[in-house]
Structure 1
């Protein structure tokens, strides 16, 4: 395991933005109202998910090419050009009125090289590189997708997006943007036909909640809300390649050696974090993660479906049990939760959401939350200039001081070119040292003068 040490010089530059415009479908589209699924309708998905991509080359003008391709793609994906409306029961629908998506053209007096090598978030001046959503309180009458293309002095460009999570998950957004990329390269139609079919994830009649869903326990956990403060947090990156994962795997009993990389790595990190945070031995600790369940249903969710098909299961234990048992105990916890994600589990989640009025998630510093983006391949949107140098979140930590911080897993390479997983971690400063000490029990920590590089990956969507 390599601890990644950053010494980036602060970068300040000026971005000149043109007035926002609306890109409408290039051809007439149906006027109708589209129902959203129960998973789409969750209260916690009512926000704009940001993403950012950096490209080395953008000639001819990427603004013209991408604008035209977006308009063509919106013919097939016309609901994205509509607006959200709220029904009497509080659920959302899309009015497919063709109003369009927001687009901003911009120029920055900076080169791609000035961002450093390799490109790793968080990035400087991201607010200037993305569309402004500060006025999006009018959630029901706002563009569902916002795109900004910023040309750089070197001839490269930055593509920044903010997508309304209610309408699509990361797999669905990536599907749409792959369609845009295909059209930008000269295709007449997207290779994957978009499928709406949100009725597939509506509640049964009558709803039948057949599983327990502790992920929706809305109360805070029992830790002191001030245990993490903005004044005393430390952020670090850790790289885990085949060697590091192999070292952890060798510590497991024979029946667990075939566990997935996600299961092994996450068990190691969750256990080390729990020890480092010094929770009360009786405190309930949780691990929550996002997982794509398109393949769990029978028949499966059809190819081309771009709505939300993700659930957030949770593994639960106590501080005492996590730290007093060997690593295999934590691996088994995660594996057991994954085994429980069956077709019936997904249907029960849908029915639960339909009957409980769109509850929020359990939160708190005792809950460790991960979104695995290491296999999504957001850098593989080729608009005619090759794949992005970086494609993914602009920020790798999420959460708050009172609720604890979650993080993304990203694909990356170390200084030797070895592929692996980049894990960002945000902890109180007093806990970070202990966290590294715990990881040292599995392998020696080496500090790299040069950080890892992010790499391309499979287009498999969120999966654990």
Structure 2
């Protein structure tokens, strides 16, 4: 990585400060849910939003920075747990947030990047990492759960990097915060966050273990271990990966759907774009990687359970309201059978998740804790950011022209495309030895 690092764009941090809530907030402890406290959620959601160069008259960077910083302080009033600190509860049962108004981190920086640098994939996994210079490495050691970095690019464009501790909020919850934050920065809110809809709802007890009549259980392959036939993890270290970025316009997604009609028992209309595209990515990734035929492969993806549990979670609930969907098969079946096969596996994984399924997951995590962690062997993790609304987050400098992860890693991210609501960008880092084959397969609809 030395040669790559030496060619990286220069990023200069101008300011790094703690921003506390603008008004007094409650001083107390808030318990996180069983779902929030899962070991595999103890990482950071890292968004990167790129805005067009500011070419109009009267633009004052200092004024914009001040407005963004002030808006962050105001947004932290209704979302005050994001200004707290996370720790393990004394009894070890789960996590909790110590709310004392400690603050979130705000960073202002400049960088040699231009807006055009984000039209394609980064050259290596961590090329854009310094656009969120302070990594929320371990919130259990006192790190702030929220970091915001506004970076001014050399062509007058701007990058906003935001890191959320995943144990406090999921994707939907984090974007609800960003929408309020942005509205306050533009002045479209009068400063009284009490009128914001939806109002943020804590109520994490709703996803804790509760007594219920046990129904016949389902399998939960997302937590099962598989035999490693190919030294799987050594193939996916950052230095062996090449980031990729491929756009799927609406017509290409429709072609994908139409391509599976003759072989599927289900009508193409019964498949969603997410199911078909995810299957195509998974199949292309597996074929290019040339896994042994007997290797068990899994596709893991988050499923929103806000309306799958009974009763539904309240509007404004911003905690982790997700469970993992898991499609599983052998490398031989995934690569040799048609696209319909993988698509139906994904659809079945989604359909399994109901109220009883969620309660089983909560029970299992409560009882088994550390053992309820997805086995990484054979796994491709896919996250759908394309329906969160990130493309509409306007801080007074327009809507973002690019939405991306801070690091393009071995996790596949589906991203929105500016002004194309039905199109999707697929970003994934794959082993360098397989990248050409993967791209050819992915683009071949």
Is 1:200 matched up with 2:206?
A: yes
2: CA distance between counterparts of 1:285 and 1:191? 42
Per-residue deviation at 1:155? 4.7
In structure 2, the partner of 1:257 is 268
Per-residue deviation at 1:192? 2.1
Tell me if the contact between 1:121 and 1:393 (Cα under 8 Å) persists in the aligned partners: no
2: CA distance between counterparts of 1:329 and 1:287? 13
Tell me if the contact between 2:401 and 2:418 (Cα under 8 Å) persists in the aligned partners: no
2: CA distance between counterparts of 1:172 and 1:345? 22
Per-residue deviation at 1:244? 2.2
In structure 1, the partner of 2:3 is none
1: CA distance between counterparts of 2:118 and 2:296? 41
Per-residue deviation at 1:138? 6.4
Distance 1:256 1:62, change over 3 A: same
Of 298, 304, 316 in structure 2, the residue corresponding to residue 292 of structure 1 is 304
Is 1:346 matched up with 2:358?
A: yes
In structure 2, the partner of 1:237 is 245
**SS of residue paired to 1:408:** strand
Distance 1:75 1:363, change over 3 A: same
Per-residue deviation at 1:382? 1.8
Per-residue deviation at 1:195? 0.3
In structure 1, the partner of 2:343 is 331
In structure 2, the partner of 1:215 is 222
In structure 2, the partner of 1:456 is none
Of 1, 8, 13 in structure 1, the residue corresponding to residue 10 of structure 2 is 13
Is 1:43 matched up with 2:49?
A: no
Is 1:396 matched up with 2:411?
A: no
Per-residue deviation at 1:419? 5.5
1: CA distance between counterparts of 2:433 and 2:336? 22
Per-residue deviation at 1:309? 0.9
Tell me if the contact between 2:33 and 2:94 (Cα under 8 Å) persists in the aligned partners: no
Extract unaligned runs of 5+ from structure 2.
1-6
Tell me if the contact between 2:391 and 2:418 (Cα under 8 Å) persists in the aligned partners: no
Larger mean CA deviation between 52-61 and 301-310 belongs to: 52-61
Tell me if the contact between 1:62 and 1:149 (Cα under 8 Å) persists in the aligned partners: no
Per-residue deviation at 1:212? 2.0
With the length of structure 1 as denominator, give the TM-score of the two structures.
0.81
Superposition CA RMSD, Å: 2.9
1:28-177 aligned within 5 A: 28-56=24-52, 57=54, 59=60, 61-87=63-89, 88-106=91-109, 108=110, 110=112, 112-113=114-115, 115-116=116-117, 118=119, 121=122, 126-133=128-135, 136-137=137-138, 139-152=140-153, 155-177=156-178
Per-residue deviation at 1:303? 1.1
Per-residue deviation at 1:253? 3.3
1: CA distance between counterparts of 2:241 and 2:108? 36
Tell me if the contact between 1:241 and 1:418 (Cα under 8 Å) persists in the aligned partners: no
**SS of residue paired to 1:295:** coil
**SS of residue paired to 1:385:** coil
1: CA distance between counterparts of 2:104 and 2:118? 33
In structure 2, the partner of 1:459 is none
**SS of residue paired to 1:76:** coil
Distance 1:141 1:428, change over 3 A: closer
Larger proportion of helix: 2
Measured against aligned partners, the alpha-carbon deviations of 1:17-66 in whole angstroms (never above 9, x if no partner) come to 22x32211111111111111111001111122222222334646222111
Measured against aligned partners, the alpha-carbon deviations of 1:247-303 in whole angstroms (never above 9, x if no partner) come to 332232362311111111222222233233222222222111122221212222111
Larger mean CA deviation between 191-200 and 217-226 belongs to: 217-226
1:311-326 aligned within 5 A: 311-326=323-338
Per-residue deviation at 1:153? 5.3
Extract unaligned runs of 5+ from structure 1.
1-9, 398-404, 444-464
With the length of structure 2 as denominator, give the TM-score of the two structures.
0.85
In structure 1, the partner of 2:414 is 409
Distance 1:30 1:117, change over 3 A: closer
In structure 2, the partner of 1:426 is 429
Tell me if the contact between 2:84 and 2:97 (Cα under 8 Å) persists in the aligned partners: yes
Measured against aligned partners, the alpha-carbon deviations of 1:181-209 in whole angstroms (never above 9, x if no partner) come to 22223313223211000011001137958
1: CA distance between counterparts of 2:98 and 2:418? 44
**SS of residue paired to 2:66:** helix
Distance 1:120 1:229, change over 3 A: closer
Measured against aligned partners, the alpha-carbon deviations of 1:399-445 in whole angstroms (never above 9, x if no partner) come to xxxxxx3211112379xx896222234333443344355457x53xx
1: CA distance between counterparts of 2:439 and 2:139? 44
2: CA distance between counterparts of 1:178 and 1:418? 18
Larger mean CA deviation between 78-87 and 236-245 belongs to: 236-245
2: CA distance between counterparts of 1:207 and 1:223? 42
